[in-house]
Every structure is written in structure tokens, then in C-alpha cells.
């Protein structure tokens, strides 16, 4: 496959100021007529090239006259034109029902809907499918009125009416020029949860969340989140909504989480539908976060879009940062930060240290779909967060105002963003720009010494080599630092931001009269791996006394990781300091339950593995289980206390109630780990009596990992109750795929032939195969069956949906981190994928790079 390079960017040869589309919708035979006004851009005599994917022109005309002297080259429709501007008309036919890739126009549960980002529009009609060609769209649709009573598109509705033969039509116009990846239409039998929002200048916007009638009661949370997002973006960023209507549609079959099409967001239904019986607190939070994310794209993505796909993080990193800020403002900022850092470490750090590592602004790709990664999104957000830290909130706001004012209506670059941050913030970000070009997670070594009244902090940074980047330069790292007194238990200085810019540096802090304890990278101010020589006692101290809640969490995690890594290396370790630190946190009356629940959780087996040169899944599992059991036994009465105090609550969706539920399930898990005789009965009682999905799924997870007779009963009862609800059935598959039992592989194989398992629905594939591939002890079973299973799924899914298949490849690419026997089996699985006949470029790119 062809490699696309960032430095090969050229401005478009032709612009398309106006686009009129006419859809005669039908699930098997949709006719698409397009009328493009094209204008030659620059001084050249090159022909017009319109991208197409699996399209055949039925008719082509230029300035109203049918022409036949066009050619097809690699799917592109090539038309020689003599003048400066022309009107091009094309006609094609497509079959949404047969579109299993879920890119372009496709059918999902009787609906017709679209997904165009990144390059799906070329599967609908011939067009210059690149984000720097912005056009004003008018869209007319006609369809059978009984099957498709609702017809939606971007912008505002203009006109509609009935036609003979039971058909009807509607026309929509979007006044804002947009790239074609933001095009959308939806046709179907939908009902709307309707509401409205009055903007800061007093304009009324009609809001609609469109779902199947039966799902209407599950849309209130998403609607509330939408209105909060609209108000938040006005207050925090001065961004006002710009159309008279804003619609969201939920669809069951969707490759991504959601899509920010102008005025018509299309969502994976899992990020819209919620009620207490079917959605967990995590689902509620994710819904609010994704609704906000897509809404925020209206400015960071749509009004200011990307020049080319190498700039993807321009909109995604910035918008993730914005949605993280928003979510932090809705509940506990500290807990939100902990969750975001946990996600970064679980998905981005491994990517950044493996064969698929890439900078947030990549230099090349084969298939852009493969670059919707944790690096582009989550590391991208960390980089914007660092700019926010360096500028401070006021200057950051001035800088984002400048960015939006300067580039409104344009297709911009990451460089444009950084320049606006510099100009608006009055800072020099020259060295900081390395964050856009260098891949790899920097490592920082910190050593604190103390002499008389002077503390010296020695800092050393290295950036590891990554594919294609053997040599790295030192980066600019904003490290928040504070010192605490070992005796006084009080801060010894104010928090300061140390800007580490060299490979080595020494910071001198005067007036430190007692032995200081180092609190560093507070709030996770820089996305780095920190190594320090702080011992168990100092970490335990910080976990109890640091004034930054994130730093408290972090100290506890470090203490746990150090203990577990030692246990793996030496076969045993002193659990005492962890147990005492957990006891202290668990019984600290000043802490809220949601923070306690996060802080007392052991790091995941995968994260422990990431700390080791050669991952030993069995030894990790033994070490972690043993620490978990001892925490369960030694603190049993504290766990029971935490459990009982949350027990009587009725369901309520508030930060306090959520925290109580979270702590309750964590406590239940520790009680089960302790071997307490009544744990399985407690779990079953919670499972059966729950008035919400958080408690029910929490209990199911505990039962699934155990051996009690209640296990099979719960699995069956859950299935019986929710078999008609696809989103909840996904949880049923996932809970079993995450089982910590030795027989998980057999169960997963059996589930893959369950009648409810299907490769046609991306959520279902991710619920079973995706979840299992991050279950370290199950997936990395020494016999290699996990690898073979995943390869089988990838090869089969690739025939239907290459984009979703390619997303499943990365766990196999971690072979360098495992012992030779496992590594060989992982490589064999990758090789089998690469050798599969008719492989897509999506999967080929991921699998061949992973072998590399």
C-alpha cells in the first residue's frame, strides 16, 4: 500500500465553494446526484480529480452537458477542464444495506446513516475528499415515508413535502462551509427527545436527541449533558452555538464512539442511552463526556478544522482536553484526573513504547483510520494541558480566543495552534514544539538531597528511541514540585513549576530546615515516567499528607507498584507499608468515598507488566493476588465498614452516591479476595437486589472471578434479564472476558460461538475480543491460544470491517516485552494475519508494523 507523507502536502488544485446533493434513498439502491461548483485554485492546468471508493459513475456532466471523456484512476474520477470555474454533475448508485464497513452511507437496525470521517464521503459520491476543501452544502433527500419518516441532515431544515407512491422529501442547508468528513444524513423511524437552549446572545436553539421510540426514556441524561456542555463552552471558552437546530442520533452499529458532523452528531448508542437499570455510573460519566466532546468539536474541529489528517490531534487533543476539563467541573476534579491518567497509562504509554509508537503529529501513514489512537487523543490532550499549565488559565483563555478568531472558517495546522498559544500567551514555545514531533514517553529521574538549609533537586530526562526516531532531544517538561517536612508534616515551600528543559538540571531550594520529602509531577503536570529514590516510608507519608489529591493517589500507586515489582522479582515482598497506607486512606474521615475507592485499588496486572523488562504474567498474577488477599484479610473490618455504610443507599445520580457505590464494589472485591466465607453470598445478594446497573455489574464481576455456586446462577440470570438489550448484553460478554479464572480462555471460545456473538456489530466484537485482549493473564496464557483466537477474529472481521479489525491488532504487537516462547507465538499470529489473502491495508499496516 501507498505511504502518505506529511511533507508531501500540497494545496488543493480545485476548490468546491458549493455542493448540492440529491439522494433517492433506498436500503439496496440509493441514487446520489451531486452538483459541485468547482474553481481552479492557483495557476496550473491539472485536471479535476474527485476521490471515489467503490463508486462507478452512472453519468457525468460539465456545465450542463453530458461528457464521456472522463477517466478513472485508482478510484478517482478524472475530468479535464479548460476554464477557471465549472459546474460538475455526477450520478452514482450505492447499496447501504451491503455496506459492512460502516463507512459512508450504511444501514443499522432499519436506519440509514452516514459516517464520513476520515475518508468515508468518497464512498457516497465523487468529491475532493480532503479536509482543506470546504464547501457550502444543500442536501435534498427523498425516501419511503413509512420506512423513513424522519429525514435529517446538516444545518437547518429548509423545506419538505410529500411525493407520490408513499414517498416524501426534505431539504436541508448548512450555511457554514465544511469539509466533507463532517457531512451527515440520517433517515429512519425515529422519535426525538426535544428541548431547547438559549445562547449567551439570546438565540434559541432547538435540540433533538433521536432514537427508536422504545429508547426515548433513556435520553434524558444525554440531553442534560448537552445543555450543560453548551453553557460550559460559553462560560469557559466564550464559544456560542451557531445554527438554529442541534440534533443527535443514536445508532447501534458504529465504528467510533461518536461523530461531530455539523449540527447532526451521530452517536454509538452506548454513549447516549442510559437509565439506572441498564447503565453504570461509568456509562453515565462516559455519556456526558462524549456528548460534551462532540459538542465542543463545533468550534475545535468544525469552525476551525484540520488542513490535513496529519493535524488530527489539532482537533482531537484539544477537544479531549476540553471534555476532560468539563467533566472535572461536574464532579471531583481529582478523581477525574486520576481516571484520565489511568487511561493514559493503560492505553497510550504501551503504544508509545511499542512498534506502533508515533508522535501526536505523525510523519506518515498508510491508512488514516489507524491513527485515531490514544496518542493522538490522550497524549494530544496532555500536550494542550501542559500549554495550559505553562500559560496559566487567563493567558490560556486569551490564546484560545486568538486561535478561534484567527482561524475561524479555516483548515488549520498544529503549528497554527502553537503560534496562537505563543502570541496570545506571550511565551516562547520553540522547544515545546518537540512534543509534536518526537514520539516516546520521556523518563525523568529525580533525586533530592538536603544539606543545612538547602535542598537540591537533581533532575535528569531521557526520551527513549522509537521506530524511525533513534535520537531524541531533551523536551520542555513543566514539573509541579513541592516539599514537605518529615517531622513537621507540613509543606516547606509553595508549589512551584520547574521547567526542565535540559537533559540534566539541578534546582536549589533555600530555607529548608528539616528533612524534605519530594512531591513531584503533582497533578501529573507532565506526561512522563518518573523514577525517584523515595522509599516506602516517604511514599506512605505522601499518601497520607500531600495536599494535592492526585499526588496522594500517585504516592500510593508508586508504593504498591514498588512492592509488587519486588515481589515479582524476588518471589516475596514486605506488604506491611501498603497495608498501613491503605488502612490510613480507608479510615481517613476527611476523604470522600470516590477518592478512597480510586486510591485503594491495586495497579492493574498490565501496568505492573509495563514496569518490567520481560513481562511474567503468572508471577504478576501471583504477586498481585497475594497482596490483594492480605489487604482483604488484614483490613477486613474496614472493608466491611465501607461496604455496610454504602449498602442502604437508594439509587441517586450524584457525585456522593456514585462515590459510595464505587467504594462498595471495591470493598466487596477485597472481601472476596480475603476468602471471607460470606463474600459470595454478599455478592449474590447485591447482584439480585440491586436497583441499578453499577451495583449489579460490580457484583457480577466479583462472582465471575470466583468459584461459588452463585457464579453460574448470576451469569444466567443476567442473560435472561437483559438478552434483548444489546448494550447490556455487551457487559455480559465483557464481564466474562475479564474473568481472572484459569478457564477464561475456554469460556471466551465458547462465547465466540454464542448465538448473540456477531462480527457485524463493533460494540459486540469489542465487548468480547477487545476486552479479552487486555485481560493479561487470560490473553497471555502460555499455550498461545489467546493469540490464535485474536488472530482468527481479526482475519474474519477484516473481510467485513477492516477499520474495526485493525484496532484489535496492537495487543499482539507487544511481543518484544514477553518471554521467547510467548513472543514466538505472538509473532506467528501476526504472521498468519499478514499472510491472509485479500488483507485490507488497515490491518496490513498494523500487523506488518507490529512484526517489524
- Residues designated as active site: 294
Residue 338 CB, shortest distance to Zn ion, in Å, is 22
Of positions 129, 132, 260, 598, contacts ligand DPP by CB under 6 A? 260
Contact call for residues 172 and 157 (beta carbons, < 8 A): yes
386 backbone dihedrals φ, ψ, rounded to 5°: -65, -40
- Grid coordinates of 71: 477517466
Residue 362 CB, shortest distance to Zn ion, in Å, is 17
Q: Which is nearer to ligand DPP, 131 or 442 (CB)?
A: 131
Segments of 353-410 assigned E as strands: 364-365
For 770, other C-beta atoms within 10 Å of its C-beta total 21
Of positions 15, 25, 223, 259, contacts ligand DPP by CB under 6 A? 259
Q: Which does 256 bind (CB under 5 to 8 A by kind): Zn ion, ligand DPP, none?
A: ligand DPP
- Grid coordinates of 453: 538549609
> DSSP label at 244?
S
Q: Does 294 bind ligand DPP (CB under 6 A)?
A: yes
Q: Which is nearer to Zn ion, 368 or 796 (CB)?
A: 368
Q: Which is nearer to ligand DPP, 315 or 849 (CB)?
A: 315
Interactions with ligand DPP, residue window 142-171 (CB under 6 A): none
Total of residues contacting Zn ion (CB under 5 A): 2
Q: Which does 400 bind (CB under 5 to 8 A by kind): ligand DPP, Zn ion, none?
A: none
Contacts 24+ apart (CB under 8 A), 73-81: 73/49, 75/51, 75/122, 76/49, 76/50, 76/51, 76/52, 77/49, 77/50, 77/52, 77/126, 78/47, 78/48, 78/49, 78/50, 79/47, 79/48, 79/50, 80/47, 80/48, 81/38, 81/40, 81/47, 81/48
Residue 319 CB, shortest distance to Zn ion, in Å, is 5
Interactions with ligand DPP, residue window 421-460 (CB under 6 A): none
Of positions 178, 221, 293, 575, contacts ligand DPP by CB under 6 A? 293
Residue 242 CB, shortest distance to ligand DPP, in Å, is 18
Binding to Zn ion by CB under 5 A, coded x per residue (else -) over 476-505, reads ------------------------------
SS3 assignment, position 273: coil
Residue 185 CB, shortest distance to ligand DPP, in Å, is 16
Q: Which is nearer to ligand DPP, 181 or 432 (CB)?
A: 181
Q: Which is nearer to Zn ion, 289 or 781 (CB)?
A: 289
Q: Which does 171 bind (CB under 5 to 8 A by kind): ligand DPP, Zn ion, none?
A: none
Peptide bond just before 118 cis, omega within 30 deg: yes
Q: Which is nearer to ligand DPP, 257 or 641 (CB)?
A: 257
Interactions with Zn ion, residue window 292-321 (CB under 5 A): 316, 319
Burial of 368 (0-12, 13-18, 19+ CB in 10 A): middle
Q: Which is nearer to ligand DPP, 258 or 768 (CB)?
A: 258
Residue 260 CB, shortest distance to ligand DPP, in Å, is 5
Per residue in 602-636, is it b (16+ CB within 10 Å) or e — as a string?
bbbbbbbbbeeeebbbebbbebbebbbbbbbbbbb
Q: Does 351 bind ligand DPP (CB under 6 A)?
A: no
Task: Give the whole-angstrom CA distance, residue 478 versus residue 539.
Answer: 22
Q: Which does 522 bind (CB under 5 to 8 A by kind): Zn ion, ligand DPP, none?
A: none
Q: Which is nearer to Zn ion, 221 or 322 (CB)?
A: 322
Contact call for residues 177 and 187 (beta carbons, < 8 A): no
Q: Taking contact as CB under 6 A, which single stretch among the options 119-127, 256-264, 360-368, 489-497 is the one that binds ligand DPP?
A: 256-264
Q: Does 367 bind ligand DPP (CB under 6 A)?
A: no
Q: Which does 545 bind (CB under 5 to 8 A by kind): ligand DPP, Zn ion, none?
A: none
Concatenated DSSP letters for 501-539?
-SSEEEEEEE---S-EEEEESGGG-S--EEEE---HHHH
Angle, nearest 10°, between helix axes 333-343 and 549-570?
A: 40
For 44, other C-beta atoms within 10 Å of its C-beta total 9
Contacts of 158 (CB under 8 A, 6+ apart): 138, 171, 172, 173
Task: Give the whole-angstrom CA distance, residue 598 versus residue 579.
Answer: 15
Residue 433 CB, shortest distance to ligand DPP, in Å, is 24
Residue 428 CB, shortest distance to Zn ion, in Å, is 29
Per residue in 478-502, is it b (16+ CB within 10 Å) or e — as a string?
bbbbbbbbeeeeebbbebeebebee
Q: Where are the alpha helices (DSSP H) in 413-547?
A: 414-425, 434-437, 536-545
Residue 353 CB, shortest distance to ligand DPP, in Å, is 24
Maximum CA extent, the chain: 93
Q: Which is nearer to Zn ion, 323 or 548 (CB)?
A: 323
SS3 assignment, position 91: strand
Total of residues contacting ligand DPP (CB under 6 A): 9
Using Cβ positions, the residue closest to ligand DPP within the complex turns out to be 256
Interactions with ligand DPP, residue window 691-710 (CB under 6 A): none
Q: Which is nearer to ligand DPP, 116 or 526 (CB)?
A: 116
> What radius of gyration do the chain's Cα atoms show?
28
Q: Does 117 bind ligand DPP (CB under 6 A)?
A: yes
For 521, other C-beta atoms within 10 Å of its C-beta total 23
Q: Which does 23 bind (CB under 5 to 8 A by kind): ligand DPP, Zn ion, none?
A: none
> DSSP label at 168?
E
Task: Give the whole-angstrom CA distance, residue 661 versus residue 668.
Answer: 11
- Grid coordinates of 345: 497509562
Residue 630 CB, shortest distance to ligand DPP, in Å, is 42
Binding to Zn ion by CB under 5 A, coded x per residue (else -) over 680-709, reads ------------------------------
Beta bridge partners of 167: 144
Residue 297 CB, shortest distance to Zn ion, in Å, is 6
Residue 293 CB, shortest distance to ligand DPP, in Å, is 6
Helix H or strand E segment including 223: helix 220-237
Q: Closest Cα partner for 155 from 226, 247, 292, 222?
A: 247
> DSSP label at 46?
P
Residue 381 CB, shortest distance to ligand DPP, in Å, is 12
Helix H or strand E segment including 682: helix 679-689
Q: Which is nearer to ligand DPP, 301 or 813 (CB)?
A: 301
Task: Give the whole-angstrom CA distance, residue 500 versus residue 461.
Answer: 8
Q: Taking contact as CB under 6 A, which single stretch among the options 254-262, 588-596, 631-639, 842-850 is the one that binds ligand DPP?
A: 254-262
Interactions with Zn ion, residue window 318-347 (CB under 5 A): 319
Contact call for residues 770 and 808 (beta carbons, < 8 A): yes
Binding to ligand DPP by CB under 6 A, coded x per residue (else -) over 300-339, reads ----------------x-----------------------
Contact call for residues 442 and 475 (beta carbons, < 8 A): yes
Q: Which does 259 bind (CB under 5 to 8 A by kind): ligand DPP, Zn ion, none?
A: ligand DPP
Q: Which is nearer to Zn ion, 212 or 315 (CB)?
A: 315
Q: Which does 367 bind (CB under 5 to 8 A by kind): Zn ion, ligand DPP, none?
A: none
Task: Name the strands in the sheet holding 258-259, side by side, starting at the edge strand that comes first in the sequence.
Answer: 191-198, 204-211, 245-251, 264-268, 258-259
Q: Which does 739 bind (CB under 5 to 8 A by kind): Zn ion, ligand DPP, none?
A: none
Q: Taking contact as CB under 6 A, which single stretch among the options 293-301, 533-541, 604-612, 822-830 is the one that binds ligand DPP?
A: 293-301
Q: Which is nearer to Zn ion, 316 or 598 (CB)?
A: 316
Contact call for residues 17 and 136 (beta carbons, < 8 A): yes
Task: Give the whole-angstrom CA distance, residue 288 versus residue 322.
Answer: 13
Q: Taking contact as CB under 6 A, which single stretch among the options 62-70, 251-259, 271-279, 493-501 is the one that binds ligand DPP?
A: 251-259
Q: Which does 117 bind (CB under 5 to 8 A by kind): Zn ion, ligand DPP, none?
A: ligand DPP
Interacting residues with ligand DPP (CB under 6 A): 117, 256, 258-260, 293-294, 297, 316
Interacting residues with Zn ion (CB under 5 A): 316, 319
Amino acid at each position: 500500500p501507498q505511504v502518505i507523507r506529511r511533507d508531501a502536502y500540497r494545496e488543493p488544485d480545485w476548490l468546491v465553494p458549493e455542493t448540492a446533493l440529491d439522494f433517492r434513498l433506498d436500503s439496496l439502491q440509493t441514487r446520489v446526484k451531486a452538483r459541485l461548483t468547482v474553481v481552479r485554485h492557483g495557476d496550473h492546468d491539472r485536471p479535476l480529480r474527485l476521490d471515489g471508493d467503490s463508486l462507478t459513475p452512472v453519468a457525468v456532466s460539465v456545465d450542463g452537458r453530458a461528457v464521456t471523456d472522463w477517466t478513472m484512476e485508482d478510484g478517482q474520477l478524472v475530468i479535464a477542464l479548460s476554464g477557471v470555474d465549472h459546474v460538475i454533475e455526477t450520478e452514482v448508485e450505492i447499496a447501504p444495506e451491503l455496506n459492512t464497513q460502516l463507512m459512508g452511507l450504511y444501514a443499522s437496525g432499519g436506519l440509514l446513516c452516514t459516517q464520513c470521517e476520515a475518508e468515508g464521503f468518497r464512498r457516497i459520491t465523487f468529491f475532493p475528499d480532503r479536509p482543506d476543501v470546504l464547501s457550502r452544502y444543500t442536501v435534498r433527500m427523498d425516501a419511503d415515508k413509512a420506512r423513513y419518516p424522519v429525514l435529517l441532515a446538516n444545518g437547518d431544515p429548509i423545506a419538505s413535502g410529500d411525493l407520490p407512491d408513499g414517498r416524501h422529501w426534505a431539504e436541508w442547508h448548512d450555511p457554514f462551509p465544511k469539509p466533507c468528513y463532517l457531512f451527515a444524513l440520517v433517515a429512519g423511524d425515529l422519535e426525538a427527545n426535544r428541548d431547547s437552549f438559549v445562547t449567551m446572545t439570546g438565540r434559541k436553539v432547538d435540540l433533538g436527541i433521536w432514537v427508536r421510540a422504545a429508547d426515548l426514556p433513556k435520553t434524558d441524561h444525554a440531553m442534560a449533558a448537552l445543555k450543560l456542555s453548551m453553557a460550559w463552552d460559553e462560560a469557559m471558552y466564550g464559544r456560542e452555538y451557531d445554527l438554529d437546530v442541534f440534533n443527535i442520533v443514536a445508532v447501534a452499529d458504529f465504528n467510533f464512539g461518536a461523530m461531530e458532523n455539523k449540527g447532526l452528531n451521530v452517536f454509538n448508542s452506548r454513549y447516549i442511552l442510559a437509565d439506572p437499570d441498564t447503565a453504570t455510573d461509568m456509562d453515565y460519566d462516559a455519556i456526558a463526556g462524549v456528548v460534551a466532546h462532540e459538542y465542543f468539536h463545533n468550534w475545535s474541529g468544525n469552525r476551525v478544522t484540520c488542513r490535513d489528517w496529519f493535524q488530527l490531534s489539532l482537533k482531537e487533543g484539544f477537544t479531549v482536553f476540553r471534555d476532560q476539563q468539563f467533566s472535572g467541573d461536574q464532579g471531583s476534579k481529582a478523581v477525574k484526573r486520576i481516571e484520565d491518567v489511568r487511561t493514559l497509562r493503560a492505553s497510550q504509554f504501551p503504544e508509545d513504547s511499542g512498534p506502533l509508537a508515533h508522535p501526536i503529529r505523525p510523519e506518515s501513514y498508510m491508512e488514516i483510520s489507524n491513527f485515531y489512537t490514544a496518542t493522538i487523543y490522550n497524549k494530544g490532550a496532555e500536550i494542550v494541558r501542559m500549554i495550559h499549565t505553562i500559560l496559566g488559565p487567563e493567558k490560556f483563555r486569551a490564546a484560545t480566543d486568538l486561535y478561534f478568531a484567527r482561524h475561524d472558517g479555516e483548515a488549520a495546522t498544529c503549528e497554527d495552534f502553537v503560534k496562537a498559544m505563543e502570541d496570545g500567551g506571550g511565551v516562547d514555545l520553540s522547544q515545546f514544539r518537540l512534543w509534536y514531533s518526537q514520539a516516546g514517553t520521556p523518563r525523568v529521574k529525580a533525586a533530592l538531597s538536603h544539606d543545612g538549609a538547602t535542598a537540591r533537586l537533581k533532575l535528569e530526562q531521557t526520551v527513549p528511541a522509537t521506530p524511525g526516531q533513534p535520537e531524541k532531544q531533551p523536551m520542555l517538561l513543566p514539573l509541579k514540585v513541592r516539599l514537605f517536612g518529615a517531622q513537621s508534616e507540613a509543606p516547606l515551600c509553595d508549589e512551584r513549576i520547574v521547567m526542565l528543559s535540559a537533559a540534566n538540571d539541578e534546582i536549589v531550594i533555600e530555607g529548608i530546615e528539616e528533612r524534605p520529602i519530594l512531591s513531584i509531577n503533582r497533578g501529573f503536570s507532565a506526561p512522563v515516567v518518573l523514577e525517584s529514590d523515595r522509599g516506602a516510608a516517604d511514599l506512605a507519608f505522601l499518601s497520607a499528607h500531600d495536599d494535592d489529591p492526585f499526588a496522594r493517589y500517585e504516592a500510593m500507586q508508586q508504593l504498591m507498584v514498588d512492592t509488587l515489582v519486588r515481589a515479582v522479582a524476588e518471589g516475596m515482598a514486605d506488604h506491611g507499608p501498603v497495608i498501613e497506607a491503605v488502612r490510613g486512606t480507608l479510615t481517613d474521615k476527611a476523604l470522600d468515598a470516590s477518592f478512597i475507592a480510586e486510591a485503594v485499588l491495586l495497579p492493574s496486572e498490565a501496568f505492573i507488566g509495563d514496569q518490567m523488562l520481560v513481562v511474567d504474567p503468572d508471577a504478576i498474577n501471583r504477586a498481585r493476588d497475594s497482596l490483594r488477599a492480605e489487604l482483604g484479610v488484614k483490613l477486613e473490618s474496614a472493608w466491611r465498614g465501607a461496604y455496610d455504610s454504602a449498602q442502604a443507599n437508594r439509587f441517586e445520580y450524584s457525585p456522593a452516591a456514585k462515590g459510595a457505590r464505587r467504594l462498595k464494589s471495591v470493598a466487596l472485591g477485597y472481601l472476596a479476595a480475603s476468602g471471607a466465607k460470606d463474600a459470595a453470598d454478599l455478592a449474590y445478594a447485591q447482584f439480585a437486589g440491586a436497583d441499578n446497573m453499577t451495583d449489579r455489574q460490580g457484583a457480577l464481576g466479583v462472582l465471575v472471578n470466583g468459584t461459588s455456586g452463585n457464579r453460574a446462577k448470576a451469569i444466567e440470570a443476567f442473560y435472561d434479564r437483559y438478552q434483548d438489550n444489546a448494550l447490556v448484553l455487551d457487559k455480559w460478554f465483557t464481564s466474562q472476558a475479564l474473568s481472572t479464572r484459569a478457564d477464561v480462555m475456554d469460556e471466551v471460545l465458547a462465547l465466540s460461538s454464542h448465538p448473540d456473538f456477531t462480527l457485524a456489530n463493533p460494540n459486540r466484537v469489542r465487548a468480547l475480543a477487545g476486552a479479552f485482549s487486555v485481560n493479561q493473564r487470560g490473553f497471555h496464557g502460555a499455550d498461545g491460544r489467546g493469540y490464535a483466537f485474536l488472530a482468527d477474529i481479526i482475519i474474519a472481521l477484516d473481510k467485513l470491517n477492516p477499520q474495526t479489525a485493525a484496532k484489535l491488532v496492537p495487543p499482539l504487537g507487544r511481543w518484544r516485552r514477553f518471554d521467547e516462547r510467548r513472543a514466538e507465538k505472538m509473532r506467528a499470529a501476526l504472521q498468519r494475519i499478514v499472510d491472509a489473502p485479500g488483507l485490507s491495508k488497515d490491518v496490513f499496516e498494523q500487523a506488518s508494523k507490529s512484526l517489524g
